[in-house]
Amino acid sequence: DAKTTQPTSMDCAEGRAANLPCNHSTISGNEYVYWYRQIHSQGPQYIIHGLKNNETNEMASLIITEDRKSSTLILPHATLRDTAVYYCIVRVTGYSTLTFGKGTMLLVSP
């Protein structure tokens, strides 16, 4: 699986959009970009995934650059409950396992 690079930590004000970047410059054509998050003392939670088109669901939006070498997870209106570690993971199509890095610690403040 391609290696990902994320900032160690980010801050966001409650109600504002949180934009979490991820670099995956060695991504292959058959690799998807997945985002998970882990709220303190809970198990990781799936957020969203995509191949090359932008994706949106009830939790977030995923913007993937045209060359697919980077992506941004967008939480449109961050709340205090969005404080968590966010993991960007690149995974081969059809491959079952996930390899978690260190992620980005997002702190949402009032």
Partner 1 sequence: DAGVIQSPRHEVTEMGQEVTLRCKPISGHDYLFWYRQTMMRGLELLIYFNNNVPIDDSGMPEDRFSAKMPNASFSTLKIQPSEPRDSAVYFCASSLKGVEQYFGPGTRLTVT
Of residues 40 and 110, the one with the C-beta less far from partner 1? 40
Q: Which of 75, 62, 68 is nearest to 23 (CA)?
A: 68
Minimum gap (Å) between residue 44 Cβ and partner 1: 5
Strands (E) across 8-97 are located at 9-13, 18-23, 31-38, 45-50, 55-56, 61-64, 70-75, 84-92
As a whole number of angstroms, the distance between CA 84 and CA 91 comes to 22
Please identify which residue in the block is written with the tokens 């799936």: 46
Of residues 53 and 96, the one with the C-beta less far from partner 1? 96
Of residues 12 and 104, the one with the C-beta less far from partner 1? 104
Minimum gap (Å) between residue 84 Cβ and partner 1: 13
Residues that bind partner 1 (CB under 8 A): 38, 42-46, 49, 94-102
Q: Which of 32, 35, 26 is nearest to 88 (CA)?
A: 35
Minimum gap (Å) between residue 41 Cβ and partner 1: 8
Of residues 12 and 22, the one with the C-beta less far from partner 1? 22
